[in-house]
Amino acid sequence: MMRAAAFLFLWPVVAYAQEPQVSAADGLAAWDRIFEVVSHPRCANCHTGPSDRPMWSGPSYGETRVHGMNIRAGESRIGAEFIPCRTCHVTSNTAQNDTPHAAPQVADAWRLAPVEAHWFGQSSDDICQQLRDPERNGGRTVEELVEHLGHDVILHWAWAPGGGRAPAPYSLSIHIRDMQIWGNAGQPCAAG
Ligand code: HEC
Ligand code: HEC
């Protein structure tokens, strides 16, 4: 009993190291929550794939549309070939982002996600396959995905976006835990 209680208490922190087997059903349930996050506007607006254009979507934007002002990311993904993202999305350690409709600012270079990490408008299975494929996910194992989630300040903004924007669902720690569960289950996708 004692042992079980201690284990449950530690579980969110040590799940990856201590729990070798998670059922595929639990893995798929974790994936469903991961999909709710990665398809949310706060993530997907930047993960737009080959379109080269960030999106404006979510309740604070009303209608879904491409980023205004003819913004393009270019091959650099930071707009270096056109108008750099940083012209408006200034890199700042102290940004509060409390003004509605102002350009979000974070403590890193604001930029579009890599072409391969195409999530906007993609199905749950498409994104599942992409995220478990090292050829398309930046060469990451699931542990490295978890590490990326822990360190990347751009995506941390998505849970505290300010300016009346809807935050991404759940929380960073729940999302990290779900990624660990999905990893321990062998990164299952619904289509196999
Ligand atoms: C001329 C200024 C300007 C430039 C340059 C610019 N943006 Fe924006 N961006 C904005 C503004 C303003 C908003 C917020 C609009 C609103 O909330 O109505 C915004 C919002 C966004 C959003 C939506 C964030 C959310 O709410 O989910 C994304 C994604 C984005 N920009 C990506 C980029 C990328 C990537 C670049 C460079 C390739 C870029 N922007 C360049 C002004 C700019
Ligand atoms: C401002 C744009 C932007 C937003 C918003 C954003 N991302 Fe990203 N994302 C990126 C960039 C740029 C990279 C590439 C970074 C790298 O590889 O180091 C990336 C890469 C990733 C990766 C690595 C795996 C892959 O396939 O490349 C994950 C996982 C990820 N993002 C998760 C998220 C999640 C979850 C959210 C929302 C909670 C989010 N991102 C929101 C720009 C963004």
Could you read off the pLDDT of 177-192 as tens digits, one per residue? 999 999 999 999 999 8
- State residue 21's pLDDT score: 83
Q: Nearest C-alpha to atom 14 of ligand 2 is from which residue? A: 113
Tell me whether residue 12 is in a domain: no
Question: Could you identify the atom of ligand 1 that is nearest to the CA of residue 161?
Answer: 26
Give residue 143's pLDDT: 97
Nearest CA to ligand 1 atom 21: 103
* Ligand 2 mean position, distance from CA 155 (Å): 6
The per-residue pLDDT for 58 is 98
The two three-digit tokens of residue 147, written as one number: 């590490």
Answer yes or no: is 13 within a domain.
no
Residue-wise pLDDT for 61-91, tens only, equals: 999 999 999 999 999 999 999 999 999 999 9
Eight-state DSSP code of residue 136: T
User: How close is the Cα of 50 to the center of ligand 1, in Å?
Assistant: 17
Matching residue, tokens 């982002």:
97
Residue 1's pLDDT band, with cuts at 50, 70 and 90, is: very low
Cα dihedral sign for 11, 14, 20, 25? positive
| Ligand 2 residue neighbourhood (C-beta within 6 Å) | 37-38, 42-43, 46-47, 110-111, 113-114, 117, 131, 137-138, 145, 148-149, 154-155, 158, 168
Ligand nearest to the CA of 97: 1
Residue 9 maps to a domain: no
pTM as predicted: 0.92
Round to whole Å and give the CA distance between 192 and 9: 32
Which bound ligand lies closest to the C-alpha atom of 161? 1
| Token pair of 141 as six digits | 């194992």
**Which secondary structure element, helix H or strand E, spans residue 55, and what is its range?**
strand 55-56
The atom of ligand 2 lying closest to the CA of 45 is 5
Q: What average pLDDT does this structure show over 109-116?
A: 98
3 lies in some domain? no
Residue 131 sits in which domain range? 22-184
Domain count, the chain: 1
Residue 178 lies in a domain: yes
What amino acid is encoded at 45 in this protein?
Answer: N
11 domain-assigned:
no
Q: CA–CA separation, 43 vs 47, rounded Å?
A: 7
Report how far Cα 174 is from the mean position of its chain's Cα atoms: 13
Instruction: Tell me which of 140, 144, 154 to substitute to probe ligand 2's pocket, judged by most ligand atoms within 8 Å of the beta carbon.
Output: 154
Nearest CA to ligand 1 atom 18: 101
Q: CA-CA distance, 91 to 105, in Å (whole number)?
A: 6
Tens-place pLDDT, residues 122-154: 999 999 999 999 999 999 999 999 999 999 999
Query: Relative to the alpha carbon of 103, which ligand is closest?
Result: 1
